[in-house]
Structure 1
Amino acid sequence: MKQYLSDRINAMEASATLAMAAKTRELKAEGKDIIGLSLGEPDFNIPDFIKESAKEAIDQNYSKYTPVEGYLELREAVCQKFLRDNQLHYTPSQIVISTGAKQCLANAALAMINPGDEVIFPAPYWVSYKEIAKLAGGVPIEVYTTIENDFKMTPAQLEAAITPKTKMVWFNSPCNPSGSVYNRQELEALAVVLRKYPHIFILSDEIYEYINFTTELYVSFAAIQGMYERTITVNGLSKAFAMTGWRIGYLAAPEWIAKACNKVQGQMTSGTNAIAQRAAITALKASKSEIQYMIYEFKKRRDLVLQLLREIEGLKLNIPEGAFYVFPDVSAFFGKTVRGRTLHNASDVSLYLLEEAQVATVTGEAFGDGNCIRISYAASEKELREAIRRIKESLQS
């Protein structure tokens, strides 16, 4: 029946992270002892003060349709957040609240990309970027980075990728899957290139902003000279506040772009969940100190995971400075044969670890890097220690 589906759906790849999560659930239901390190979801519970605000919203009968662009109070809270954390001045008319950051990305793509427009992605990139751009008719242009350079795109690489058809650059810092964080000097160097091409717009995905282990002040791309009027900044509450299931994302952009995104959303889903929006107001107004315990724990786990992975001969590692992933190069295992099974690529390694070690990871091929696998350390220390013990045992066999 595939022939009856649209060409755009037939050309679209399924999300590898969600597919692995589904496979993990399936194996667990069969009684397999699978340790899931594939999904980008904090294992913490939502802070109690946010839960209480949601309960109050229910009692206050926030049950009607919400404005397409989001409650004014929430958009004002987003503006306050940008001013407090990023020294960026926005008005509520420049903000759109969506059902998760992923919808923000889709809104921006449909609002900005015409068929044939080229969209640059530094690889590795988050799995959905490429498919969202393709759905909008865009042509993905992948810029391959290296583990030796901490998976960061250089100005020379950016310049080489730009053509007269380039419309956008999609950018993610801290990065999923690599954990890379660009500092101010690196962003300014990229901006030097972009200032030569005023027709190019930037989508800066900053969903992992708070989960940042560097000692430097986080810098939003829109804060770089000359970038404010050309940058769509996407963020949300899923990662830092452990609110994945509440589906609250937001974007900030020049008003004409925000209005276009609002127009798209108005025809697709309308306004976002009322109760989740009221809880998000409370979350965004809170001090970052309220969630610092999660960030501290993620850093502690990162250090543990790196320590344990360094004991596995053949893995190549860098030090991720944000998010909650490590992205080791496993290419040393390509061509190896275990019990008659040859590992040809990262997908083979990831599947081997699922079946032999019973540890779920994600192939780097889904992120645009065929040499690596992604390991999430959003799990307990006990699970991480056992998972890496299994990985070590399986790879050293």
Structure 2
Amino acid sequence: MLKPAAAMSRLGTETAFEVLARAKALEAQGKSVINLGIGQPDFLTPGHVVEAAVKALRDGQHGYTPANGIPPLREAVSAYLNRCYGVEVDPARVVAVPGGKVTMFFAILMFGEPGAEIIYPNPGFPIYESMIRFTGATPVPLPLLEENGFAFDADVLLDLITERTRLIIINSPANPTGGVTPRAEIEKLVAGLADHPQVCLLSDEIYSRLLYDGREHVSLLTFPEIADRLILLDGWSKTYAMTGWRLGFGVWPESLVEGATRLAVNSNSCVNAATQYAGIAALEGPQDSVEMMAKAFDERRRYVVKAMNALPGVSCVEPGGAFYAFPNISETGLSAKEMESGLLNEAGVAAIAGTSFGVYGEGYLRLSYANSLENIEEAVSRMESWLARR
């Protein structure tokens, strides 16, 4: 009998893909399902980005590339970050990877081991906790509460740090809640970290271009006092509707670049060559598609919040960023998993139980409004009918 390593039993999954698979199975049986589960823009990648990849292939870009990414891509990332935040980032600190998850995978592998503690947001992206457990480190949840708009509380976070803390993960704008942490809390965190020089910080800023109502994205890159222990995670998937292209980047402290590059060599070798040229075109070309998507998401966001607050037993705070709503369903009398299962199997609406994002997600449901307004309206109608029948 095969006996995989014990660490495999600690490896979780991303439930959105499981719900997607169940939804597809129901559709194969002829049932109508509206998917508000998967976090994927319902827009095509901009045409000039596609053409850049096609040109690269026709020009013969078919081989291996440097493990950390081709120099023009890393230079384009550096220039992009300068335009966004007014900071100078040495392209040598940029490591291109096949998707945003890979940066968090590398960071958690780098700092996670038995005896270490890693603080992560809860509810939060499920791969954080999954990977922490996989490494043998102890996951320490940072509660994100509805009364704070699902922003983290810097005082609470700083109180969680012990002598065993090796890494802190933060995510703003956040998945699954859409919460955006204000500048004051981020500044308080940065100041407090001065007392904990052994702690590294992973800032997941993959939704940095998707904010609403004039909210400010405060990048941790803009704090030079933590530059020697900050790992920035960002990429193309959400901003440019490039989920299937698998392209992301990390900005690493100088002391960790070599380790991140070695992890790339040992795992994915390099990023697909043509995709990297597409990434350059996305960063350097017209940004109107980003603005168009953000405007569409904002319209859907407003509708979803209003619609959720009109449903019996449901309430919903307004998300400040990303493309998720995280309605409170506790007054329905249903658990998060019961709601997820009932909506999918009986109402034909795919959504994700809040508990898929951690224990603090009980009583909540994640809805992705990365779907057309027409489909969202139909999904809400189905939810309303289903709740009325219960």
What TM-score do the two structures reach when normalised by structure 2? 0.96
CA distance in 2: counterparts of 1:278 and 1:379, whole angstroms? 28
1:181-219 Cα deviation digits (max 9, x unpaired): 122222102222222211111100011111111414421
2:285 — aligned with what? 286
CA distance in 2: counterparts of 1:240 and 1:222, whole angstroms? 18
Q: Which amino acid in 2 is paired with 1:275?
A: A
Residue 290 of structure 1, CA deviation: 4.0
> Alpha carbon RMSD of aligned pairs, Å?
1.4
Q: Which amino acid in 1 is paired with 2:377?
A: R
Residue 58 of structure 1, CA deviation: 1.1
1:346 — aligned with what? 336
SS at match of 1:107: helix
Matched residues, number? 387
CA distance in 2: counterparts of 1:51 and 1:255, whole angstroms? 33
Where structure 1 has 5 or more consecutive residues not aligned to the other structure, the ranges are: 335-342
Match of 1:386 among 378, 381, 389: 378
1:364 — aligned with what? 354
Q: Is the 8 A contact 2:228 2:255 kept in 1?
A: no
SS at match of 1:310: helix
Q: Which amino acid in 2 is paired with 1:283?
A: A
| Pair 1:74-2:68 in alignment | no
CA distance in 2: counterparts of 1:158 and 1:387, whole angstroms? 37
| Pair 1:184-2:183 in alignment | yes
Residue 353 of structure 1, CA deviation: 0.9
2:41 — aligned with what? 42
Residue 123 of structure 1, CA deviation: 1.4
Map 1:83-94 to 2 at 5 A.
83-94=82-93
CA distance in 1: counterparts of 2:149 and 2:215, whole angstroms? 17
1:206 — aligned with what? 205
Q: Is the 8 A contact 1:167 1:199 kept in 2?
A: yes
Residue 122 of structure 1, CA deviation: 2.2
1:295 — aligned with what? 294
SS at match of 1:319: coil
CA distance in 2: counterparts of 1:80 and 1:180, whole angstroms? 28
Moved more, 198-207 or 179-188: 179-188
CA distance in 2: counterparts of 1:179 and 1:219, whole angstroms? 15
What TM-score do the two structures reach when normalised by structure 1? 0.94
CA distance in 1: counterparts of 2:349 and 2:249, whole angstroms? 33
Q: Which amino acid in 2 is paired with 1:327?
A: F
Percent identity at matched positions? 32
Residue 224 of structure 1, CA deviation: 2.7
Map 1:319-334 to 2 at 5 A.
319-334=318-333
Residue 111 of structure 1, CA deviation: 2.1
CA distance in 2: counterparts of 1:156 and 1:212, whole angstroms? 24
CA distance in 2: counterparts of 1:290 and 1:143, whole angstroms? 34
**After the TM superposition, which segments of 4 or more aligned residues of structure 1 sit over 3 Å from their partners?**
287-290
1:125 — aligned with what? 124
1:333-377 Cα deviation digits (max 9, x unpaired): 23xxxxxxxx4x211111111111110001111111112110001
CA distance in 2: counterparts of 1:85 and 1:217, whole angstroms? 12
CA distance in 2: counterparts of 1:285 and 1:99, whole angstroms? 20
2:25 — aligned with what? 26
SS at match of 2:87: coil
